[in-house]
Amino acid sequence: MLQRFREFWTNVWAPFADLLLRLGVTPDQVTIVGTIGVMGGALWFFPRGQLLTGVLVVTAFVFSDLLDGYMARKTGTSSNWGAFLDSTLDRFGDAAIFGGLLLYYVGPHAETMLGPPRLYVYVSLACLVLGSITSYVRARAESLGMTAKVGIAERAERLVFILVATGFNGIFGLPILTELALWLLVGASGITVIQRVIVVRQQAKSA
């Protein structure tokens, strides 16, 4: 489903990407600006309790992940370097999103939380760490000639879930939406790590 979602929005943004190419903008530049936008939006707005604004800003810049890939394919400049840069900067963006939520839970809006605010500091941190481990397991497996693109919570699913939940939280003032999303992501990310480890173990044994 998310693959069709990516294809749809890639087609929507294609004219803008073509314009950037005509202006001499490179895919790497789009990747870097997109990451800065995601980090800025998450770390500036989330800690201030401006959740909806933060989600809208982050979402706008997340689309750069579609633009840079399209631009690289269009110009025939897809390369290992581009893939490396994109994956590396993705980790910064993901960390900023959950880091921004972590700062939200220690900020002046903490008294609006359903449960103990400090609890969600740790839950946000767990999401940040498990998300990084999930990506690392796949990258490490691929560096060893194996595959680990499995699991119930890949990066796209994690981002869509937390951004949608936090956006509706910002609209309706229901902190429980973000809190439940964080708990579910902790469980789903943990399961995904286990799934990937098992898949890699099976490949290693049969090699």
- Mean residue pLDDT of the chain comes to 91
Among the residue ranges 24-33, 90-99, 150-159, the one predicted with the least confidence is: 150-159
At the topology level, CATH places domain 2-206 in: Four Helix Bundle (Hemerythrin (Met), subunit A) (1.20.120)
Task: Compute the distance between CA of residue 180 and CA of residue 155 in angstroms, rounded to an integer.
Answer: 18
Q: Of the listed 28, 86, 90, 94, which one is catalytic?
A: 90
**What residues have CB less than 8 Å from 135, skipping those under 6 apart?**
87, 90, 91, 94, 155
In 3-state terms, the chain is what percent helix, strand and coil (to 5)?
85, 0, 15
- DSSP letter string, 105-120: TTSTTGGG-SS-HHHH
Q: Tell me whether residue 90 is one of the annotated catalytic residues.
A: yes
Nearest to 65 by CA among 34, 110, 96: 34
**Where do the domains of the chain lie?**
2-206
Nearest to 58 by CA among 37, 44, 87, 78: 37
- Residue 207 is predicted with a pLDDT of 72
Task: Compute the distance between CA of residue 68 and CA of residue 28 in angstroms, rounded to an integer.
Answer: 7
Q: What is the pLDDT of residues 147-177, one digit of tens each?
A: 999 999 989 889 999 999 999 999 999 989 9
Confidence of residue 112 (pLDDT cuts 50, 70, 90): low
Residue 7: HSE in the Cβ half-sphere, 13 Å Cα cutoff: 4
Q: What is the pLDDT of residues 181-202, one digit of tens each?
A: 999 999 999 999 999 999 999 9
